[in-house]
Amino acid sequence: MSLLLKYQSLLDRLRERSRFRRLEKRVGHDFSSNDYLGLSQSKELTQAAIDALNKGVGVGAGGSRLLRGNDLEHEALEREAAEFFGAERTLFMGGGFNANMAIFSTLPQKGDLIVYDALIHASAHEGMRLSKADSLAFEHNNAKAADEVIAAWQKAGGEGRIWLTFESVYSMDGDIAHMADLIAVADKYDGFVVIDEAHATGVFGKQGRGFAHAFHGKENIITLHTCGKALGASGAIIGGASVLIDVLVNKARGFIYATAPSPLNAAIVRASLKLLQAHPVANKTRQEKLADLVAHANAECERLLLPVGNFTPSGTQILPIIIGDDKKTMQIAANMRERGFDVRGIRPPTVPRGTSRLRITLTLNNEFETVTAMFEALKEELSA
């Protein structure tokens, strides 16, 4: 009996359910990446990388930050990011997934309660799985429901600290959190708030500082800003009170035992933050140009897709087109790629069962005319 038979059977079952994943090449116009500001291949960040290399910045760190891997570029980025995002201190890590795992597996303590939005990212779930704290979900984007979950937990004898967590912009639905209401719930219980700004960083808030910046200065708020989306590089920045950052440095296994992020990448992220703060060369900033593109795309979605289905514009740079059936979703996505538009399908378990969708993202890699052409092609596919 083959040692691999069990795993082949697992893959066969995924194929039967139209849930088998494979790596696909980049094709056509970008409607699937998170490169919202078009920075990942921009001449500005390319030049920043060249300048850093010419200055002697290292490609690799050579070890964990606590050994010999700590670099001046890491420290400079953390100082500049703290000032930009309005945090007492920040910590640079290799990616958003690892950063979320570090937060939730380290900061909430035994006896505490993590109260999380039902649609929170998989990385938060992985961190909660490793945590010694209790964890309970609340109905998506519903502050009242969060309050009720906490009250019921306390009534049943829960006495620990509350950690309320949500995304400011949801990666699969594109909707925006009711942040003020949720923070008010955490404040009511003298709890902490963990805000995942991954899809807001660079896009929303003053100069792309995200939605949480409006609440900067509150010691109970921890933020996560990823660097691989609108910032055009890679890595993640955790922001919060200095004492919490020190706890992560001392206790977070994903930080202690991981090779430090590339110093070169830290230099590129520094350049990206400077770009967000730069005055526009021609009338508008990248953030303003993206806002115009988002408004155009949402209007085109309403004009072209509403007649063929119940497709509600999200109002953000993430537009979910709910199809429902897994196989149909992936077929339409494949057809769109053949037409020259790189649209990808998203299936369970990434999204709830029965909500398979096309996740269309808007980036400055496309012009208004290309966006309209994509929606016209999509209307034909949905009408077929």
Low-confidence ranges of the chain (pLDDT < 50): none
CB 241 within 8 A of CB 221: no
> How far apart, in Å, are the Cα atoms of 95 and each of 2, 102, 227, 228?
37, 11, 8, 8
The pLDDT score that the predictor gives to residue 307 is: 86
Q: Please spell the DSSP secondary structure of 205-267, one letter per residue.
A: SGGG--SGGGGTT-TTEEEEEESSSTTSS--EEEEE-HHHHHHHHHH-HHHHTSBPPPHHHHH
pLDDT of residue 57: 96
Spatial distance between the Cα atoms of 338 and 344, rounded to a whole number of angstroms: 12
pLDDT value at residue 9? 87
The residue length of the chain stands at: 384
What pLDDT, on a 0 to 100 scale, did the predictor assign at position 128? Answer: 96
**pLDDT reported for residue 384:** 80
Residues 6+ apart with CB under 8 A from 184: 143
19-67 pLDDT tens trace: 888 888 888 999 999 999 999 999 999 999 999 999 999 999 999 999 9
Walk me through the domains of the chain, giving residue ranges and CATH numbers. Answer: 24-40+283-383 (3.90.1150.10), 57-277 (3.40.640.10)
Type and span of the H or E element at 168: none
Q: Identify residue 154 by its one-letter amino acid code.
A: Q
Whole-Å CA distances, 66 to 127, 248, 252, 257: 22, 12, 12, 9
Q: What is the pLDDT of residue 3?
A: 85
| Whole-number pLDDT of residue 282 | 64
Q: Which residue in the block uniquely carries the two structure tokens 């290399």?
A: 53
> Distance between CA 115 and CA 113 in Å, rounded?
6
Supply the pTM of this predicted model: 0.93
Predicted confidence at residue 309, as pLDDT, reads: 83
What amino acid positions are annotated as catalytic residues? 34, 121, 167, 171, 196, 199, 229
